[in-house]
Amino acid sequence: MKTYDDVYDIKKNGALVIGKNRLDDYATKFLTKYCPETLLQPMRIPVDDILIKLGLKVVSRTLSKNLDIFGCCTMFDCEIEVYKYGKYHNEKFKDGTIIIDPKSETLYGKGQERNTLMHEIIHWEKDKRYFEILNLNKKFQEEKISPLMCRQSKKNFEPSEKLKTKDNEVNWLEWQANRLAPRILMPKEMFKEQAIKYMHDNEIRTCDMIINKLSRFFGVSRLSVKYRLLEVGLKDLISNYEDYRNIYNDEDAKDYAKISIVDAYKLIEKSASLKEWVKSGRFTFADGYFVLTSEEYIKNDDGILKLTKKAKANLKKCAINIRKIDYTEFYNKERNFSIFYKTEGSTNTLYMFSPEFQEFEIREDEEIYQVAAEKIFSNNIDEKKLTRILNDPDKTLCDGIVFLMESKGWDSPQKFSDRTLLAYDYYARIKNNKMNNMNKATLMAICVGLELKLRITQQLFDKSNNKLNNFNEPDKSYIRILESVPWGLTIDDFNELLKQNGQEPLGSKEK
């Protein structure tokens, strides 16, 4: 009996609906039309020739500051936001223009660039009619339809089959292009033929070597080859190699691993995408997970951020997927992973982040997350009043700190010392306005203890005799940590991160 997965039909709106079981059928149809010779013997798909046949122009532009967007294709004359000189600007492009990020090849390899080009070719060949019909609709003309963006973070996102909205319709077009591109670049029967040929070559003795050979032959990424081998039914053969378990170790991966704040910082530092998601306010770290900044998913429990019941029950919808893998050897050579290794007892463990692992959908409007963050991170500090105190020449640094301590409810030397790891007597000296010349490390310990964001921390330093210098240590590490972990850290966590950066911990109190 046929199911939704077997559908292959053009709807009235011009969208070609392709079920999961018919993807290779489309790939064959496409190649028969544009380069039938590739179905007769194994060869690299001539992407450049297909671009010429379709009359498509390729230009290089950066489309996102976090390198999440690899490319897009214009279905009609329109304006596209490009990222240049640290800002987004609108630029006009003619229809039939493929815009591709120039850094995609450098960072992720030639295979990723070819995949992105094929992805956009598919949209042009398959979805142009859909967008032309959509563009005739006055309602959508007013909304200025934007082209589909080829995003890393949506590579594995699967839309709902029940949701009947225009956005969901468009999401399915993107889902199709993500899955069709590697099937066209590695045609099923020809890919199998070449793979089996390598398996019968006595000089090719490992799974790793087979993947490398196929990657170079077809001009695709290792990751694409790795999964294509399974899709075309070669698991029984490839699994006979001794290194199979290490190559396909993600079969043993534990998704949505809970991590420490120190490990979270390491991942942020290793990934431009993750750093941008966190820095922009889209995600907040709570209870061991990076979670979408929303009151649906995060609650502030007396200053401690925790996941809501809804978040715990729906991690796939709201949390970043960090994979945890226990291993003996690790072979993955892909460049689009942020990985760090850790020895836990007698076990070697690695934690992996990639935008491709994610299943949530990020809203484009960053203001939504900023508004949510203001509510969640409400810390009882009147920033306007604090600014007036710090800008008043008759007020001192101690006046500003006393105001902050009172706002936080620090009403005893014990609370002050517990939060800052500074000596008890500092509390009275600050209250009595006798510590206006405190050193840099002492002031930073107080700022961290108060869980101040970088913006307010810099205001306090500007009021003091110490200025933060982004080019010198330990200031560089202070700033880097506060930027990477904007939701606030305990003094113990901050000190652990300082140690990771080779810097002295804060606080004079012996623990």
Average predicted confidence (pLDDT) for the chain: 84
Say whether both 231 and 335 belong to one domain. Answer: no
22 within some domain: yes
507 within some domain: no
Say whether both 214 and 316 belong to one domain. Answer: no
11 within some domain: yes
**392 in helix, strand or coil?**
coil
Task: Write down which residue in 376, 396, 428 finishes a domain.
Answer: 376
Say whether both 344 and 473 belong to one domain. Answer: no
Q: Which helix (H) or strand (E) holds 84?
A: strand 78-84
Beta bridge partners of 149: 72
Q: Packing angle between helix 23-34 and helix 47-54, nearest 10 degrees?
A: 70
Say whether both 330 and 403 belong to one domain. Answer: no
Say whether both 97 and 169 belong to one domain. Answer: yes
* Structure tokens that stand for 428 in this block: 């009275």
Task: Write down which residue in 353, 376, 399 finishes a domain.
Answer: 376
Share of the chain above pLDDT 90, in %: 42
Say whether both 49 and 169 belong to one domain. Answer: yes
Say whether both 225 and 304 belong to one domain. Answer: no
Output the pTM of the full model: 0.66
Say whether both 367 and 406 belong to one domain. Answer: no
331 within some domain: yes
256 within some domain: no
CA distance 305 to 300: 5
Q: What is the pLDDT of residues 153-211, one digit of tens each?
A: 677 777 777 777 777 778 888 889 999 999 999 999 999 999 999 999 989 989 999 99
Provide the pLDDT confidence category of residue 252 given band limits of 50, 70 and 90. low
255 within some domain: no
Say whether both 149 and 34 belong to one domain. Answer: yes
Residue 164, pLDDT score: 73
pLDDT surpassing 70 at residue 7: no
Contact 222, 333 (CB under 8 A): yes
CA distance 72 to 82: 11
Contact 75, 127 (CB under 8 A): yes
Residue 460, pLDDT score: 94
CA distance 451 to 209: 50
252 within some domain: no
Residue 320's Cβ-side half-sphere holds a number of Cα atoms within 13 Å equal to 30
Q: Which helix (H) or strand (E) holds 52?
A: helix 47-54
Say whether both 84 and 171 belong to one domain. Answer: yes
Straight-line distance from the first to the last Cα atom of the chain, in angstroms, rounded to the nearest whole number: 69
Give the angle subtended at the CA of 464 by the CAs of 462 and 469, to the nearest 5°: 55
> How far is residue 1 CA from its own chain's centroid?
40
Beta bridge partners of 78: 93
Task: Write down which residue in 376, 396, 416 finishes a domain.
Answer: 376
Range of the domain at 156: 4-185
Q: What is the pLDDT of residues 50-87, one digit of tens each?
A: 999 999 999 999 888 777 788 899 988 888 888 888 78
510 within some domain: no
Number of domains in the chain: 4
Whether omega before 474 lies within 30 degrees of 0, making that bond cis, reads yes
